[in-house]
Chains A and B, each alone.
Chain A
Amino acid sequence: MTLNLPTGSRYQQTETTPEAMAETVRSQLKKPGWRLGHLTARVLANGRLALEALLLDTATGSGVICSAALPDGVREYPSMTALVPAAHWMERAAGEMFGLRAVGHPRWKTLRLHAPVWVPDLAPLESGASGTPIPCEPYAFMKVKGEGIHEIPVGPIHAGIIEPGHFRFSCMGEIITNLEIRLGYQHRGLERRLAEAPLAQTRFLAESASTDTAAGNALAHAVAVEQMLGVTPPPRAEALRTIALEIERLANHIGDLGALAGDIGYNIGPTLFPPMRGAALALAQTLTGNRRQRWYIVPGGVARDIDDARRGEMIEGLNALHKQVRRHVPLILENPGVLDRMEGCGRLSSALAKDFGMVGPAGRASGGRYDARAAFPHGIYPAGAPVAARYTEGDVLARARVRADEIESSIAIIRALLDDLPVSPARVEIAGVLPPNAAGIGVVEAWRGELIHWITTDETGRIARYAIKDPSLNNWTGLAIAVRGNLIGDFPVCNKSFNLSYCGNDL
């Protein structure tokens, strides 16, 4: 279970017991700047299961892997959710993937692998573990009791062109009293596939975690692999990767602002914003050869360099886009008719956002200060990180404003890098084998927020566990809480203001 982490590594390991785990994690998280990055399990060489929490220090960009081996054949441990609310979905996910029960979890049920589609003891990641997987209980929705309460089931297939998920509203008239979100429809078995694939192919799968975040996922994967191999990408590669990451942010934020306006019936959004998003995707096409930046960021650098002609094209395109952004964003954010609908809608308090460990624009709109670009090394960061866009109101408008601010800062970052690209190779060769008993952790500020790829190898250097923590895993609960007390008719605009990933959650 003891990992071979090089001295001077940003990540260290502490070993504890399953009984002491919750308290260890809680006391660490009390320190300012610490957060729960992820909580999952892995199978050790001796067949035992180990519970592992990744604790991150956002002040120094470092972290601690807190490991607790379970006794031989034991498949349960005391839940930490009551002490650390951010762990509640993570414990459920680890439960069904490893047949591992978090005893005392306040809402113990499956997260993705619901019966009868999946057999209760499937436990797809526990292969080789000792003991019998504990089957998951069937899923039961929370019932709201009281006169006049009615339920509205929505999904998995929605009216629009959206990913599938099930929303169960309990309403009093038009007012939402409770929303329960049940996902898992797109479970594709990705984490198991990642532990089976040859190292040369893991990047393709890593990007597929959520294909709308291809650059973010590829970068998190590359950072984790490079960390394990002790490789530093050349400066030009770091700059080009950052451009790719920021183009992804720019395109998606522009799209989201337009869609937000569309959801309240203001047609400037769906009319003017998609072509602007297209202009951002054209930058991606020029840089990577692909609108969605697939297959571009690779361990060791980027798949293709850029010449001066294409660089000039990008600068020209970016300047034209910036002119449009400055003209069109105020049409939405300085418009009394729009403000009237967005202000106060879907409010999420700073205290709850902190409890759930919310990330990205949704976290920063509820008073959070955390932007992984300011803390964790990826691309040119943290050196070139922008000042985090931050609002405290926690409503739809705040989430829109964070995006508008980040559109500006992303444009500034891309422009500065294009104007002054470092001269070096764009890629270095990397070894084809990972070191044994090692861990690599890529923490990236993707457009939805903190994205983590966490790789652990076995004693032969093969990947034993490849864990992905999509930003949305932290944020879905925030959406469910934010809509309470709002009109059911405002759900679409609330939902879009979070715009979370379903497939990144379902894996």
Chain B
Amino acid sequence: MPAVTAAPCTGCAECAGVCPTQAIALAQDGARTDVSLDRGLCVGCNLCVETCPTGTIATDRSTRTATRRREDLVLSNRAITPRPAAPSGGKPFRRSLAVREVSTGDSAADLEVIATTNAVFDVARLGVQFVASPRFADTLLVTGPVGRAMREPLLRCYDAMAEPRLVIAVGTSAITGGLYRGGYAEANGVTDLVPVSSFVPGDPPHPWSIIHGILLGMGRDGG
């Protein structure tokens, strides 16, 4: 996915112009230009990387892209004081996790979630299993932008889960609605509907990134 580097930005704003989801914001701070890129909106199309003349925005191939806080998805070239680490889900989930997936409109993300269970990615090795009912589940894993018609089923599923419980938003559309944001279908993601414990950006995210997000939710460091 695109990342912001320390390379000085000339403020040409090409990147913000080509971004299909307005994920990039530029701000003038005296002689320097601050660039911020919100991965919660970024679909990873790479147009910004291709147009950036200075390398201020470049591709970062790491799959450790998940965060525990929404604001940590916003990458910037401003030297910022490190925030204190986000609180983790804590002990009850550290060694095992029962996950109920709810899909709402991003079939590729569903396929990548399924891929985490195969012999190559093998999320079961980490004590993670996908379960059939919210009654068995510690975690709600959401894919897709949650349009109006999926809101009630999703909330009913969440309400059926015992506490403590986690929510993992998998994919840019699950975080903010991504490309769908702001339409009449109100497909603006899950972030404003239920408290989210970890965010996995990408359209769709790589299976390793999804596993990274699950580990963060469990209260582990994810490498």
Contact = CB atoms under 8 A, between A and B. Distances in A.
Partners in one complex: yes
A124 B184 contact: yes
B180 A278 contact: no
A162 B149 contact: no
A292 B106 CA distance: 12
B101 A189 contact: no
B203 interface: yes
5 contacts: A114-B149, A162-B103, A187-B148, A189-B185, A292-B111
* Range class of the A interface residue count: 35 or more
Given A211-B107, A503-B107, A295 B45 contact: yes
A contact patch SS: loop
B138 interface: no
Nearest to B145: A188
A380 B188 CA distance: 39
A164 B109 CA distance: 14
Nearest to B133: A159
Interface in A260-285: 270-271, 274-275, 278
B199 interface: no
A160 B45 CA distance: 30
Interface string A293-317: 0110000000000000000000000
Interface string A187-199: 1111011000000
A211 B43 CA distance: 12
Contact of A185 (B110, B120, B153): B153
A186 interface: yes
A98 B179 CA distance: 23
A7 interface: no
Given A212-B108, A212-B110, A503-B144, 17 more contacts: A124-B184, A161-B114, A164-B153, A185-B153, A186-B150, A187-B147, A188-B105, A205-B179, A210-B107, A212-B107, A271-B119, A291-B206, A292-B111, A292-B112, A501-B107, A502-B107, A503-B105
A115 to B, nearest CB: 11
B184 A164 contact: no
B71 to A, nearest CB: 25
Nearest to B21: A204
Contacts of B102: 157, 164
A275 B45 contact: no
B130 A275 contact: no
Contacts of A161: 101, 103, 110, 113-114, 130
B46 interface: yes
Interface string B81-107: 000000000000000000001111111
